[in-house]
Amino acid sequence: MHPRETKNSWITKGFMDFILVDSSKAQLLQDSFVLKAVPTLNPGGLIVGNHHCILTGQELYFKYRSIMKKISPSIWYNQSMVKR
């Protein structure tokens, strides 16, 4: 949700590096959970400096539960994927 926070990028990278390594611990996680990787959800807003808002100025952080498919398809499709 906050792509400008570099610490989150490093945590994600570390987790991805760990989960993709051939180890018994990584295999246990892969066998126990459905893991889904999600890219940056606000590339359009981020590129123009809007860390919380999409290009239309909609604040994603406070409207995350009520975002509609037309306003922000990346959020809508992510929510749909998580619900499956």
Number of domains making up the chain: 1
- Whether 23 is covered by a domain: the verdict is yes
Q: Distances from the Cα of 31 to the Cαs of 14, 27, 47, 77, in angstroms?
A: 19, 6, 37, 25
pLDDT tier at 75 (50, 70, 90 boundaries)? Answer: confident
Q: Residue 42 falls within a domain, yes or no?
A: yes
Note whether residue 52 is domain-resident. yes
Residue 1 falls inside a structural domain? no
43 occurs within a structural domain: yes
Do the domain assignments include residue 47? yes
Q: With contact defined as beta carbons under 8 Å apart, do 79 and 67 qualify?
A: yes
For the stretch 18-68, pLDDT in tens is 999 999 999 999 999 988 887 777 666 666 776 667 777 777 666 656 666
Confidence (pLDDT) at 67: 60
